[in-house]
Amino acid sequence: MNQPEVAPYGGFIVKSLEDEKANEAKIEELSIEVDYNGTVQKIRPEAFKLNGVDNLSTEEIKSYIDYYLNYTVTQDEENGELKYNQIPFDDQITFRVEWIDDSNVVIVFKTNQDQINALRQIRRIATTLDENDPNFINEVIQEVDAKDYNPIIQFRKSQSLSNRLGLPEKDPNEVTSIEEDETSIELKIRQAFQSDRKVKNASQYSRYYLVHGEPERDLHPRRHKHHHRRSRRDGESIEIKANEPEEEDLFADKLKGNNGRKTEIRNGDDEEEDLFANKLKKTRSRSPTRNNDNGRYRQRY
């Protein structure tokens, strides 16, 4: 008797789990110790560190990385307008942002190879060494200039909802009192270490919050629902009514501010972003990810 065929998606799941285990083993293998400025540091092979992000939101950092990794830029010969084109879906590199402190973030990738490819593209002066060269690690652990942030300002404007709908942009002459000059942003990049982790109680030391203020979180009163249960006492069935608190969404207070709008959480340790979230969305729509340009008021930690 012929054995029943295994559903195709079953094979995909098994292969995915095997690939994940192999990737974890590879990352562990590459997590070697190195000498860095007189201290022993352990490499974090799937991530690099970005310094100088003091005045940037998480979305702005994502746009910066996305621009250099997943877009090509062409210029219209007639009107000089820049056009931003996403590279083929299967070639795009996914990543997430983890905050360390006001000035530093770690950009985390799925694999070491993705991280190497991204590191080469984000460094202002690309390394010419092959990753198998013994000197490669010694070169990439040194902090160097990253590529310019300036192109991201126009890139983000092009990706805004108002731009896509053909609506007029905000008056360029209207400047808020807390707006800072993004053209002066200078970023540094190096290979990440295991010690590049968020500082405890980072929000208490945040200059960003000092300047922009810290959003108040919307604390929803817990709803109650009636729960009916029955018990037996002395052989008699008794109905008991009890008010039990209904669990709220664990992240409801993080996703909404007092005005009911979604507020970005800038906390690399408490909230992990799915590395494939963007790709899953793009399978439904290949249009570029929309960015929220409604001001610079962001929640970091």
What total of structural domains would you count in the chain? 2
C-alpha–C-alpha distance, residues 83 and 164, integer Å: 13
Concatenating the DSSP letter of every residue in 203-228 gives GGG-HHHHHH-PPPB--PPPPEEEEE
Positions of E strands within the chain: 33-36, 39-51, 71-75, 82-86, 95-99, 104-109, 144-145, 188-193, 224-233, 236-245
Task: Based on the fold, state whether residues 277 and 161 are members of the same structural domain.
Answer: yes
- pLDDT given at position 133: 95
Angle formed by the axes of helices 58-70 and 150-159, nearest 10°: 100
- pLDDT given at position 250: 40
Task: Based on the fold, state whether residues 139 and 275 are members of the same structural domain.
Answer: yes
pLDDT digits (tens, 9 = 90+) for 228-260: 444 443 444 444 444 444 444 443 443 444 444
What are the backbone angles phi and psi of residue 105, rounded to the nearest 5°? -135, 160
Task: Based on the fold, state whether residues 224 and 81 are members of the same structural domain.
Answer: no
Task: Based on the fold, state whether residues 277 and 226 are members of the same structural domain.
Answer: no
Task: Based on the fold, state whether residues 63 and 207 are members of the same structural domain.
Answer: yes
Q: What is the pTM of this model?
A: 0.65
- pLDDT given at position 269: 44
Residue 159 three-state SS: helix
Domain range spanning residue 211? 23-215+263-284
Task: Based on the fold, state whether residues 160 and 277 are members of the same structural domain.
Answer: yes
Task: Based on the fold, state whether residues 169 and 228 are members of the same structural domain.
Answer: no
C-alpha–C-alpha distance, residues 67 and 70, integer Å: 6
In a domain, 296, yes or no: no
C-alpha–C-alpha distance, residues 53 and 60, integer Å: 9
Task: Based on the fold, state whether residues 113 and 229 are members of the same structural domain.
Answer: no
Q: Could you state, in chain order, the average pLDDT of each consecutive group of 10 residues for the chain (301 residues)? A: 53 79 95 96 98 96 98 91 94 97 96 97 94 94 97 91 60 44 85 91 64 57 46 42 44 42 46 47 40 46 59
- pLDDT given at position 173: 47
Strands 39-51 and 188-193: antiparallel
- pLDDT given at position 229: 44
In a domain, 10, yes or no: no
C-alpha–C-alpha distance, residues 54 and 57, integer Å: 8
- pLDDT given at position 184: 84
What are the backbone angles phi and psi of residue 40, rounded to the nearest 5°? -90, 125
Task: Based on the fold, state whether residues 149 and 230 are members of the same structural domain.
Answer: no
